[in-house]
Amino acid sequence: DPAPAPNPPPSSSSTTPDNNYGIAYSPYTAEGTCKPAPQITHDLSQLAGYAFVRIYGTDCDQTRLVLAAARQYHLGVFAGLVDLTHFSDDLALIITAATENGGSWDSIHSVAVGNELLNSGRNTAAEIVGAVQTARATLRGAGYEGPVVAVDTVAAHLANPGLCAVSDYCAANCHAFFDDAVEAEGAGGFVREQKGDANARSKGNRNKKVVITESGWPHAGQANGKAVPSLENQRAAVRSLREAFAWDSSDEVGLVLFSSFDDLWKVDNGYTFGAEKFWGILGH
């Protein structure tokens, strides 16, 4: 018999949904208020075709609303606790959202315990490790058997290998834009190299899968050396990222694009180059 035809390569377009990748999503209006359910459903209709959407918290009833919309469009949901402030309550909200009305955990891709809590100085590595262990035990008790992870930067993971060790895979955010020596076309190679560092140098975690849980490029803002925000550069960077991670889907998705739409509610600081609002890939 002839050999089966190989799978076609992923789309080279920077905006076409592709189930080789996840994509980040935040359910807030430009003013920072909660988007209503119909708007969330409309937003996710534009993301149909990705493997899953990544959300960051439980406020605005987002786990339940995003999960309901995602199920309509055969999207998974990468759920999360934004921090450890309301840890038990947030976990309970995720459990209820997944299992109410006869629902199952099938649509939940992963659960993140925080986002860059170590990098931001909000928590210690020991606090995060303990929270992941507690969250996993609680979620397992509620019937969830999928990954539970601590998401942080590559640098935070390298300095604190316990974050990766306690996670079901190493979950690292990595943005080439914040390296002033990297041009947009080199984003994919840069992030792939950073992923390799996380694989090779995380003590005791060499065989653990690394997923890049955020990576993208802004389309507006100020330049950071060779890293220049523009629509053209965003398209080039996202295309480069997609090409660099195109075949990770032979086992599991290895890249979450950041982000689906502009986050006009966000506020810049001294490290964001006036670009914090403008990482959205769609809508312009």
pLDDT digits (tens, 9 = 90+) for 158-178: 999 999 999 999 999 999 999
Q: What is the pLDDT of residue 252?
A: 74
Residue 115 lies in a domain: yes
How do residues 74-104 score in pLDDT, each as one tens digit?
A: 999 999 999 999 999 999 999 999 999 888 9
Q: What is the mean pLDDT of residues 261-283?
A: 96
214: annotated active-site residue: yes
Q: Which of 127, 183, 214, 232 is catalytic?
A: 214
Residue 222 lies in a domain: yes
Residue 251 reports pLDDT greater than 70: no
Beta bridge mates, 151: 115, 171
Q: What is the pLDDT of residue 164?
A: 93
Residue 35 lies in a domain: yes
Q: What is the pLDDT of residue 16?
A: 85
- Tell how strand 108-115 and strand 52-54 pair up: unpaired
Residue 284 lies in a domain: no
* Listed residue (96, 21, 86) closest to 57, CA to CA: 86
Q: What is the pLDDT of residue 190?
A: 98
Beta bridge mates, 29: none
What CATH code is carried by the domain that includes residue 227?
3.20.20.80
Q: How far apart are CA 147 and CA 6, in angstroms?
A: 29
Residue 75 lies in a domain: yes
Could you give the 3-state DSSP secondary structure of residue 137? helix
CA distances to 108, 145, 274 from 105, rounded to whole Å, are: 5, 8, 39
Q: What is the mean pLDDT of residues 120-128?
A: 98
Answer yes or no: are the C-beta atoms of 216 and 241 closer than 8 Å.
yes
Residue 2: pLDDT band by 50, 70, 90 thresholds? very low
Q: How far apart are CA 93 and CA 79, in angstroms?
A: 11
Residue 114 lies in a domain: yes
Residue 9 reports pLDDT greater than 50: no
* Listed residue (121, 114, 205) closest to 164, CA to CA: 205
Q: Return the structure tokens found at 155.
A: 């640098």
Q: How far apart are CA 5 and CA 205, in angstroms?
A: 35
How do residues 197-249 score in pLDDT, each as one tens digit?
A: 877 766 566 678 899 999 999 999 999 999 999 999 999 999 999 999 986 54
* Listed residue (240, 194, 248, 200) closest to 217, CA to CA: 240
Reading phi first (left if > 0) and then psi (alpha if -120 to 50, else beta), residue 22 is in: beta
**152: containing domain:** 22-258
When the pLDDT of each residue in the chain is averaged and rounded to a whole number, the result is 92
* Structural domain count, the chain: 1
Q: Please tell me which residue, 283 or 116, carries the higher pLDDT value.
A: 116
Residue 174 lies in a domain: yes
Q: What is the mean pLDDT of residues 47-76?
A: 97
Residue 9 lies in a domain: no
State pTM to two decimals.
Answer: 0.93
